[in-house]
């Protein structure tokens, strides 16, 4: 067996598979859908049809009943775009949201600190929206288990004002919406906004007059038009998963639109939440973690609908209903996500390497606190990773250095035994044994380090902290490609020197592949975010320095032995 050839072939396969995997993540759709968009008025969405508790609750698509009052007529149809008088505006230091009084829910949210693009600082990222083509709204309320009107998202609420602003001397801003049925039930939606926070507290309150009682269940749901992500090498946002997700208290589930269209998901669990994720941003609803909550995920036309419904409770004068949801609308800032709900930081989708990626992000963020520059933090963390694997890569480097020194003798053996491959293999194995060289030692460190590379890749791709973060000079956005392609070209040069320091492959075809490898990598790195290229360039530069030093040491040892 020709161990050198097998070793090099394994090295080439690992490299090509790594490239193919990276290309796949930027090109292939995670899932696709068919059919055109369905325009549905904001404020109307499907709700779970399954029972909560012992009673069967009516669908939220219809006016609910159950309050101890005379039944009211169904609400008037809601237009696709709310009338100006239906909307109230709430502004904090980080959020600019609109609440539709027809339903009393968040129907638009702009992130004031996150422009769509650096050259458009006045156009903020918009998550929630009531426009038909981009519809993405929360819908909350209390669903009755009996007859009569109830404060669902189909009902109209009242507010004391039309414009709320968190002033410089305030840390919290409370917006109260009132609903009054024609009988004995009153209800409120109380929103609490906090300075610097993307988590919004929502209290659903209800009370019944003395001598009456009411059976009802609180709920929150989200309806969003689904647009399949179009994979493109020109769009950084196309790297990440976008769509509905559920957390059932133990498992983070990324749901595919096509699968939900065939088989809706229903589950009753504690400590869960639902969310709609996209690259760098998320909107989520988190019920009380100690309660049994029924979750449902399904589709309706081109929309997906996620819902969370609490148990049916008895509401009377002595035991009013006070149920709290946390609504998160904003960037995937992990500290805020952790505070908003159990494992809500899982919406920062690091994929299967989450266990490795989370500690790497923690380390990266702590380093950035000291240097105040994400690019410099990437360089420093790369150095730290290199130091952790130093001895392992040194073992590999020594093997490569010895193989390089044996290259002339190996070539001579190939010429001598070119007609007898069995004799060639035997002669080479004897040479390895005599010189104490292990050809397989060169690939083992790469196999061990590969998961860490992929994990760091996802940290740099998925972490919103990298979005529009400057490094230095011309690199003003680590999540975007190098505008002048300087880093990819430097990467190509570094790889050229790295291949020159490696032992030449015995097979001519493999040698030609190794020669064009720097060009192939350079082409790929033209397409990757500059933060990722900076990481790989730093790692390659350190590898070159380490191998150069090892080559010098091995050369001195060989000279001394001679």
Quick one: 342 and 437 in the same domain?
A: no
Main-chain dihedrals φ then ψ at residue 109, nearest 5 degrees: -150, 120
* Residues paired with residue 206 on neighbouring β-strands, in sequence order: 187, 321
Q: For residue 434, which of 413, 406, 408 has the smallest C-alpha distance?
A: 406
Of the residues 349, 381, 415, which one is the last residue of a structural domain? 349
Reported as a single tens digit per residue, the pLDDT across 327-352 is 999 999 999 999 999 999 999 988 88
Residue 353: what pLDDT?
86
Question: Is beta strand 163-165 parallel, antiparallel or unpaired with respect to 87-91?
Answer: parallel
The residue assigned the tokens 């990467």 is 491
Could you tell me if residue 290 is inside a domain?
A: yes
Reported as a single tens digit per residue, the pLDDT across 175-192 is 999 997 767 889 999 999
> What is the C-alpha to C-alpha distance for residues 215 and 513, in angstroms, rounded to an integer?
72
The residue assigned the tokens 């050229």 is 496
Question: Is beta strand 199-208 parallel, antiparallel or unpaired with respect to 243-247?
Answer: unpaired
Could you tell me if residue 377 is inside a domain?
A: yes
Quick one: 230 and 293 in the same domain?
A: yes
The residue assigned the tokens 């494992």 is 343
> What is the C-alpha to C-alpha distance for residues 352 and 455, in angstroms, rounded to an integer?
9
Would you mind telling me the total number of residues written for the chain in this entry?
Answer: 562
Could you tell me if residue 41 is inside a domain?
A: no
> What is the C-alpha to C-alpha distance for residues 311 and 22, in angstroms, rounded to an integer?
45
User: Per the structure, how many domains does the chain have?
Assistant: 2
The domain of 497 spans 3-26+363-561
Quick one: 300 and 164 in the same domain?
A: yes
Confirm if 198 and 97 have CB atoms less than 8 A apart: no
Low-confidence ranges of the chain (pLDDT < 70): 1-84, 147-148, 182, 230-240, 394-407, 418, 435-446, 501-511, 554-555, 557-562
Residue 526: what pLDDT?
85
> What is the C-alpha to C-alpha distance for residues 304 and 256, in angstroms, rounded to an integer?
10
> What is the C-alpha to C-alpha distance for residues 302 and 306, in angstroms, rounded to an integer?
13
The burial of 430, by beta-carbon neighbours within 10 Å (0-12 exposed, 13-18 middle, 19 or more buried), is given as: exposed
DSSP assignment of 77-109 equals PPPSS--GGGEEEEE-SSEEEEEETBTTEEEEE
Contacts of residue 393, Cβ cutoff 8 Å, sequence gap at least 6: 386, 445, 449, 543, 546
Quick one: 189 and 243 in the same domain?
A: yes
Quick one: 138 and 258 in the same domain?
A: yes
425: left (phi over 0), alpha (psi -120 to 50) or beta: alpha
Quick one: 13 and 161 in the same domain?
A: no
Residue 442: what pLDDT?
58
* Residues paired with residue 205 on neighbouring β-strands, in sequence order: 188, 322
CA distances from 437 to 395, 400, 431, 442 (A): 11, 9, 8, 10
Read off the CATH number of the domain in which 321 is found.
2.70.98.90
Confirm if 270 and 292 have CB atoms less than 8 A apart: yes
Residue 321 tokens, joined:
């209903």
Residue 510: what pLDDT?
64
Residue 146 tokens, joined:
């009996």
Q: How far apart are the first and last CA of the chain?
A: 30
DSSP assignment of 469-523 equals ---BTTB--TTS--TT-HHHHHHHHHHHHHHHTSPPPSSHHHHHHHHHHHHHHHH
Quick one: 319 and 398 in the same domain?
A: no
> What is the C-alpha to C-alpha distance for residues 533 and 490, in angstroms, rounded to an integer?
10
Confirm if 466 and 374 have CB atoms less than 8 A apart: yes
Q: For residue 101, which of 71, 68, 72, 130 has the smallest C-alpha distance?
A: 130
> What is the C-alpha to C-alpha distance for residues 533 and 549, in angstroms, rounded to an integer?
24
pTM of the model: 0.79
Of the residues 320, 349, 378, which one is the last residue of a structural domain? 349
Quick one: 109 and 183 in the same domain?
A: yes
Could you tell me if residue 227 is inside a domain?
A: yes
Residue 528: what pLDDT?
84
Could you tell me if residue 34 is inside a domain?
A: no
Could you tell me if residue 130 is inside a domain?
A: yes
Quick one: 262 and 333 in the same domain?
A: yes
DSSP assignment of 275-322 equals EEEETTEEEEEE--TTS-EEEEEEEETTEEEEEEE---EEEESSS-EE
Confirm if 360 and 456 have CB atoms less than 8 A apart: yes
DSSP assignment of 174-189 equals EEEEEEE-SSSEEEEE
Q: For residue 55, which of 169, 163, 144 has the smallest C-alpha distance?
A: 144
Q: For residue 68, which of 254, 234, 206 has the smallest C-alpha distance?
A: 206
Question: Is beta strand 281-286 parallel, antiparallel or unpaired with respect to 243-247?
Answer: unpaired
Quick one: 368 and 336 in the same domain?
A: no
Could you tell me if residue 185 is inside a domain?
A: yes
> What is the C-alpha to C-alpha distance for residues 493 and 338, in angstroms, rounded to an integer?
42
> What is the C-alpha to C-alpha distance for residues 355 and 364, in angstroms, rounded to an integer?
15
Main-chain dihedrals φ then ψ at residue 72, nearest 5 degrees: -100, 165
Could you tell me if residue 122 is inside a domain?
A: yes
Quick one: 101 and 136 in the same domain?
A: yes
Of the residues 322, 349, 376, which one is the last residue of a structural domain? 349
Quick one: 413 and 518 in the same domain?
A: yes
Question: Is beta strand 199-208 parallel, antiparallel or unpaired with respect to 158-159?
Answer: unpaired
Confirm if 195 and 171 have CB atoms less than 8 A apart: yes
- In the chain, % helix, strand, coil (3-state, to 5) comes to 40, 25, 35
Residue 252: what pLDDT?
93
Neighbours of 561 (CB within 10 A): 6
Degrees, nearest 5: CA angle 526-530-532 = 95
């Amino acid at each position: 067996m020709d161990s050198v050839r097998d070793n090099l072939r394994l090295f080439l396969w690992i490299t090509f598979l790594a490239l193919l995997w990276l290309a796949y993540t930027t090109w292939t759709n995670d899932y696709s859908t068919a059919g055109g968009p369905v325009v549905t008025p904001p404020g109307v969405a499907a709700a779970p049809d399954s029972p909560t508790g012992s009673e069967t609750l009516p669908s939220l698509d219809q006016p609910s009943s159950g309050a101890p009052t005379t039944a009211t007529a169904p609400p008037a149809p809601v237009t696709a775009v709310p009338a100006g008088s239906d909307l109230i505006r709430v502004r904090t230091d980080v959020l600019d949201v609109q609440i539709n009084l027809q339903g009393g829910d968040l129907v638009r949210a702009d992130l004031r600190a996150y422009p769509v693009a650096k050259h458009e600082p006045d156009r903020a990222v918009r998550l929630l929206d009531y426009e038909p083509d981009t519809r993405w709204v929360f819908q909350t309320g209390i669903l009755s288990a009996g007859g009569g009107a109830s404060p669902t998202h189909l009902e109209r609420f009242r507010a004391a004002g039309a414009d709320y602003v968190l002033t410089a001397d305030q840390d919290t801003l409370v917006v109260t919406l009132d609903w009054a049925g024609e009988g004995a039930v009153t209800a409120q939606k109380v929103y609490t906004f906090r300075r610097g926070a993307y988590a919004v507290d929502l209290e659903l309150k209800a009370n019944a007059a003395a001598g009456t009682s009411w059976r009802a269940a609180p709920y929150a749901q989200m309806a969003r038009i689904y647009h399949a992500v179009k994979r493109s090498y020109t769009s950084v946002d196309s790297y990440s998963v976008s769509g509905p997700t559920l957390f059932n208290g133990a498992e983070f589930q990324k749901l595919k639109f096509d699968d939900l269209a065939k088989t809706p998901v229903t589950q009753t669990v504690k400590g869960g939440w639902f969310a709609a994720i996209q690259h760098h941003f998320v909107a989520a609803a988190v019920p009380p973690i100690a309660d049994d909550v029924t979750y449902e995920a399904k589709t309706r036309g081109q929309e997906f609908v996620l819902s969370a419904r609490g148990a049916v409770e008895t509401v009377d004068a002595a035991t009013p209903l006070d149920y709290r949801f946390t609504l998160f609308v904003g960037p995937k800032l992990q500290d805020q996500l952790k505070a908003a709900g159990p494992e809500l930081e899982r919406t920062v989708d690091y994929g299967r390497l989450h266990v490795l990626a989370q500690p790497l992000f923690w380390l990266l963020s702590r380093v950035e606190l000291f240097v105040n520059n994400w690019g410099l933090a990437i360089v420093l963390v790369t150095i730290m990773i290199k130091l952790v694997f130093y001895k392992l890569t040194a073992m590999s480097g020594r093997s490569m250095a010895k193989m390089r020194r044996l290259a002339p003798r190996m070539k001579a053996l190939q010429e001598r035994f070119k007609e007898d491959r069995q004799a060639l293999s035997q002669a080479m194995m004897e040479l390895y044994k005599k010189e104490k060289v292990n050809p397989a030692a060169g690939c083992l460190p790469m196999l061990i380090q590969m998961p860490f590379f992929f994990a760091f890749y996802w940290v740099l791709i998925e972490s919103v902290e990298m979005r529009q973060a400057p490094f230095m000079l011309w690199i003003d956005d680590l999540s975007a490609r190098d505008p002048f392609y300087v880093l990819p070209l430097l990467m190509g040069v570094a790889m050229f020197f790295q291949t020159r320091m490696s032992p030449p492959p015995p097979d001519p075809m493999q040698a030609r592949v190794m020669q064009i490898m720097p060009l192939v990598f350079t082409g790929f790195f033209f397409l990757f975010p500059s933060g990722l290229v900076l990481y790989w360039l730093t790692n390659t530069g350190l590898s070159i320095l380490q191998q150069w030093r090892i080559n010098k040491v091995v050369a001195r040892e060989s000279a001394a032995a001679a």
